[in-house]
A = this chain, B = another copy of it.
């Protein structure tokens, strides 16, 4: 069989480089020439691996989405923790994914890049809303919660948290962002009709570590 290892290596190399450059200077400002010069390849090579510049962006966003989703699935399968714990872990995993791992995406919200943000938001909401809904419905079945609009509430939660914590859009300082996060958790309690403070408690516990 054909050996595609080198092909994938090269492709990953282009993706990694483009990702780094997109996050530093923004997708629009970063040119294809910047990418190929940084990788050390020619134009033709770049377009052998990717049809367009935007396809590179799409790949980067998809790769990130896959990482977030697989992590969430991992939490989902842990079955010796409460629904509250599970929901908060998944929600928080999304937020802190930036810091852990390679740290590459720590600036994803700082890019001030409209297209990147739009694609990112779109993919994350479409992929994550059903997962969060599953947890919510599980909690409802157990009788610990009640919720009239699970899907809509989770969409609202995702859209607002991802938008408001994007520094490229509002440039909120760290303190304001923390306030928004606190408000979001308290809102989540209202969404699920749980006693005030029960989720915040888990949130603060998670923040400490």
Contacts and interface: CB of A to CB of B under 8 A. Distances in A.
Interface of A: 114-115, 117-118, 121-122, 125-126, 148-149, 151-153, 155-157, 159-160, 163-164, 169-170, 179-180, 182-184, 186-187, 190-191
A125 B171 CA distance: 12
Contacts of A151: 179
Contacts of A160: 155-157, 159-160, 163
**How many copies of the shown chain assemble into the complex?**
2
Nearest to A171: B122
Contact of A163 (B148, B153, B163): B163
B155 A164 contact: yes
Contacts of A183: 148-149, 152-153, 156
B184 A148 contact: no
A122 B184 CA distance: 19
Task: State the majority secondary structure of interface residues on A.
Answer: helix
12 contacts: A114-B114, A114-B118, A122-B169, A151-B179, A152-B180, A153-B187, A155-B160, A156-B156, A156-B184, A159-B163, A160-B163, A190-B190
Shortest 8 CB-CB distances between A and B: which pairs? A152-B183, A149-B183, A190-B190, A114-B114, A114-B118, A156-B160, A160-B160, A159-B163
